[in-house]
């Protein structure tokens, strides 16, 4: 049976910050706004920011409280949250710090942070130049540290927070031609574990969702190569590749009050890819 995915969460009053306006980030932004959260979005792509702010929500003012996203499968016709974009170069420590401060200022606080930033450059290790390594480390990993540190400086004193990083099965599996990407995603996994240990006494959870191969702008050209889609699907026990909406449920769960006792975990949402 083909079942459509419907957001069944209530995040009314929640202040959320999402880094990354495309692909999985876009799906998470729309779901959070649809569930009532007010969302600030960080990205350097003006076109993607314009799209998510156009479709993600309208009306209302910034959140003034925290519900923590309690599950409410009967929620219909509730307030749709606002979505506000902020153009920022996430490869700069100062820019990341200032962007979090700006977002907290117009949201009126911060309850949820989702890091959905990722770039890849597929080539063998021996053919990977320094500039590719440095660029991917800055985008994928350093931005996670800089933004996470700034977010932690808000959430830890406040005594509450939900932090979710979008990792990858590449942080666990040794995919060829993925050295910088795999290294940065493995680094994200360990970064969030250390944050989780340090911040747990303060009511802040830090977790990661690790997708398998997912159809986004990041993978479109690669999947278009002859035979590539079929070969990738053959590696997934579920028999298909992931879609951005497949990551919404896991991400919103880890952003919710129900996940209060879950921290330092990598949740693999991969159709069974890591089983084979």
pLDDT at 7 over 80: no
How distant is the alpha carbon of residue 236 from its chain centre?
A: 22
Q: Which residues contact 60 (CB under 8 A, 6 or more apart)?
A: 38, 79, 80, 81, 82
If pLDDT is split at 50, 70 and 90, which confidence band does 78 have? Answer: low
- HSE-CB at 118 with a 13 A cutoff on CA atoms is 32
If pLDDT is split at 50, 70 and 90, which confidence band does 229 have? Answer: confident
For the residues 144-168, what does the mean pLDDT come to? 98
Q: What would the two tokens of residue 83 be? A: 């979505």
Q: Active-site residues: which are they?
A: 181
For the residues 177-197, what does the mean pLDDT come to? 97
If pLDDT is split at 50, 70 and 90, which confidence band does 64 have? Answer: very low
| Single pTM value for the model | 0.89
The pair phi, psi for residue 155, each rounded to 5°, is -75, -40
> Is it true that domain 9-213+245-269 has CATH number 3.40.50.300?
no
Q: What would the two tokens of residue 216 be? A: 């986004």
Average of per-residue pLDDT values in the chain: 89
Q: What would the two tokens of residue 144 be? A: 């996670």
C-alpha angle 255-244-45 in degrees, rounded to nearest 5: 90
Q: Which residue carries 């569930």 as its tokens?
A: 35
């Amino acid at each position: 049976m083909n079942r459509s995915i419907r957001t069944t969460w209530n995040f009314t009053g929640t202040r959320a910050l999402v880094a990354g306006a495309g692909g999985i980030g876009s799906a998470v932004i729309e779901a959070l706004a649809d569930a009532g959260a007010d969302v600030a979005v960080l990205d350097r792509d003006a076109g993607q920011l314009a799209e998510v702010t156009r479709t993600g929500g309208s009306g209302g003012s910034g959140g003034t409280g925290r519900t923590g996203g309690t599950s409410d499968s009967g929620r219909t016709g509730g307030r749709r949250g606002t979505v506000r974009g902020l153009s920022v170069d996430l490869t700069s420590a100062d820019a990341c710090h200032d962007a979090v401060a700006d977002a907290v200022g117009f949201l009126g606080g911060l309850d949820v942070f989702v890091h959905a930033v990722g770039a890849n450059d597929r080539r063998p290790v021996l053919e990977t130049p320094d500039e590719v390594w440095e660029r991917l480390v800055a985008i994928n990993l350093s931005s996670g540290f800089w933004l996470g540190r700034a977010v932690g400086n808000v959430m830890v004193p406040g005594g509450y927070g939900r932090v979710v990083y979008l990792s990858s099965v590449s942080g666990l599996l040794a995919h060829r031609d993925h050295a910088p990407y795999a290294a940065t995603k493995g680094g994200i996994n360990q970064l969030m574990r250390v944050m989780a240990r340090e911040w747990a006494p303060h009511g802040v959870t830090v977790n990661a969702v690790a997708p398998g191969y997912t159809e986004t702008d990041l993978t479109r050209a690669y999947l278009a190569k002859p035979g590539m889609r079929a070969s990738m699907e053959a590696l997934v026990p579920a028999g298909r590749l992931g879609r951005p909406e497949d990551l919404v449920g896991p991400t919103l769960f880890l952003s919710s009050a129900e996940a209060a006792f879950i921290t330092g975990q990598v949740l693999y949402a991969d159709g069974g890819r890591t089983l084979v």
